[in-house]
Amino acid sequence: MSRSLIVVESPAKARTISKYLGKGHQVKASIGHVKDLPRKRLGVDIDNDFEPEYVVIRGKKKILDEIRKEASKADQVLLAPDPDREGEAIAWHIAQEVAKVNSKVFRVLFHEVTPKAVREAISKPGSLDQNKYDSQQARRVLDRLVGYEISPLLWRKVSQGLSAGRVQSVAVRLVVQREEEIKAFISEEYWTITALLDASNPPEIKARLVLENGKKFKAGNKEKADLVVASLRKGEFKISRVEKKKRTRRAPPPFITSTMQQEAARKLRFTAKRTMRVAQRLYEGLEVGGEGPMGLITYMRTDSTRVSESAIAEARSFIEQSLGKEYLPEKPVRYKSKNKAQDAHEAIRPTSVTASPESLKGKLPRDEMRLYSLIWKRFVASQMKPAVYDQIVIDISCGAFLLRATGSVLAFPGFSTLYVEGKDEEEEQENTGLPKVEVGQVLVLKDIISEQKFTQPPPRYLESSLIKELEEKGIGRPSTYATILSTIQDKGYVEKIEGRFHPTELGELVTGLLIENFPKIMDISFTASMEDRLDKVQEGAVDWKQMLRDFYSHFKEAVEKARTDMKNLKQEVEKTDIVCEKCGKPMVVRWGKAGKFLACSGYPECKNTKEFKRDESGTIQAVEPETTDEVCEKCGSPMVVKKGRFGKFLACSSYPNCRNTKPINSGFSCPVDGCNGFLVERRSKGGRRFWGCSNYPKCTFATWESPKKETCENCNSPYLLTRMSRGKTLKRCPVCGFGDPPPKRRSYNPKTGHKKKRDTAVKGGKTAHTRT
């Protein structure tokens, strides 16, 4: 019997595929990339035509040895990492290793992990794609050149540990630009006027004033609005036009990577990183009912809306049988992908429409269930009839004024009976219904409402709207958005406040330096054009090394110039009139990782530092640290409150002689039995606030819920854990569990501090869910 070795990326995918295949097939997991450029040096031989130097990733030697060993025993090796550029690179690197022991090496692509798809792919193995691999190499080398040439400049000129990236820096620029627009925005006052009118039959008509003497109505102050209201009250309201029409709204296309990330952010409050992590598990396979793992969705990294004919037929059959023939269009619905879309993969869809969310209830973890339900509903809805609305527009004249009322009533729900797409910003609501009226009919005025409003600056980006902006401008690719958004937060260039991205002082400063010294790299259109060229490399239309030659000739000049011309913020100081109380020398404003601060000009002999603020005139004023009653356990000095990159903390007042620091005691003791720690407010890598034990890592208690001083009715615990759910505040006791049930998330057991093995609701409220 012939024997095949199949190599995939993840252990979960390996387990799923192993269940589908009988004897004669062995499945091994590479656990991601096995080779990459070296971590601590450039790893690109610029003088040798940008030849990359690949090394075995630390910890992967054993895995590679096992793959080589099994390959030597196999009749053929089938490389089946994910069907994208990164997966192709993994396949090439493994192929280069196993070719030494087995010459029969083939490429296999799994666009969905189902028994049928896996068997069909294995029965028709292909060859590795050189163009796709070259495209990945070009991207990797390009990003390495930018990062390794610019980042050291930032270390020397600004602060150690900073980084720049070909795509990440442009993403930060978008956030900084939006902040500049908000700061520069001058709000203008305006007034809206709405008449409430009675047509003798319900409902009441709400009509907005739109024209004055045939021109767009404008009222910039109360005086003008009051004059108009007074004039309207004296006039007669007569219907001048009634327009009725049918309006249809087509279903949105099935998900691609970017739209899935956007919708999961809007509806599920998932970060892009979390969305991709959950989608990966749905793709690779999960246990759904005793028959072994099953891949529930097609490959989740795609920008094509194409769907296979068999999937369309299955969806149409389901719609007709389960929802009704009236919801089924005469012909299948097909969607056109964007011009730059790669058509290698289908849209993201369920592998089987018959596996409905209802049929999987209780069989999937919470996150997987919520995302799968979104994907399933979106796909099925995409093959349903459009929603139909009866839209009515009524124009009402009153002297020199024209008022307009618009109403919309759902005549046929179509796809919206199953799925409605989310929106980033709230839209102005229409009248849900309007009464039957005729032209010439006189209406009775019930009331006139004038409202003062102000024009608003453009909103700061949400996760969903920033992804949308990156996609529209061609910055990066959908498969990279999760990493981009995570990186710019981890590096401290942006932060999320109430779900919206704000640039930090560090982000604004670094962006300014990069725009000044590397205008081309920071140019949005140039970044987009580089993505187009990378796509052309994959198509075989552009040589990847020629692309690098073209780029580097200009980039090298910019780097050389920046070495001498870029401002050195480490050396730049702003003099002040403030005198150091420790040595008597003047204090100056310096730059550090946490932003600007006051430092003694006698550094390094005197290391005194302070926070500062500027008054309305711009004068610098020292801010003395907040004193506390706590005493440093190391030297006995009082502890004071200081502010760092990650918020406030306690520090010894004898700094720099004593460098002791610790988190601020919240007053809420850790609920874990036997732990003497207290809850500390922290931030996750994604910027989200959570509360964790001060004794971490000895105690791993953590919760997204906020502690609140309120006595438990059952056990007299001095505080409760609270969270918002659908506009309602839910409360529960962290000690006895009295109150509302805990959220269903991956949990920690307070009594042991150990992670539970399965995602289950915790009985009795004894467990707080942890960060994910």
Show the 3-state SS of 317-363.
HHHHHHHCHHHCCCCCCCCCCCCCCCCCCCCECECCCCCCCCCCCCC
Q: How far apart are CA 488 and CA 164, in angstroms?
A: 10
Helical pair 168-184 and 481-490, crossing angle rounded to 10 deg: 70
Sheet holding 728-732, edge to edge: 706-709, 719-725, 728-732
Question: What is the phi/psi pair of residue 288, to 5°?
Answer: -130, 15
From 54, 133, 283, 299, the catalytic residue: 299
The CA dihedral of 293, 294, 299, 305, to the nearest 10 degrees, is -160
Question: What is the phi/psi pair of residue 272, to 5°?
Answer: -60, -40
Do residues 104 and 32 touch, judged by C-beta distance below 8 A?
no
Q: How far apart are CA 769 and CA 752, in angstroms?
A: 14
CA distances to 152, 167, 170, 510, 564 from 163, rounded to whole Å, are 8, 12, 13, 9, 19
Contacts of 612 (CB under 8 A, 6+ apart): 578, 589, 596, 597, 598, 620, 621, 622, 623
Per the annotation, the verdict on 299 as an active-site residue is yes
Gyration radius of the chain's alpha carbons: 31
Q: How far apart are CA 334 and CA 319, in angstroms?
A: 16
CB-count burial class (<10 Å; 0-12, 13-18, 19+) for 104: middle
- Buried/exposed 231-267: b ≥16 CB within 10 Å, e otherwise: ebeeeebebeebeeeeeeeebbbbbbbbbbbbbbbbb
Residue 722 is encoded by which pair of tokens?
Answer: 């609270």
Q: How far apart are CA 350 and CA 295, in angstroms?
A: 9
Cα angle, residue 657 at apex, residues 651 and 663 outer, rounded to 5°: 15
- Catalytic positions, written as ranges: 299
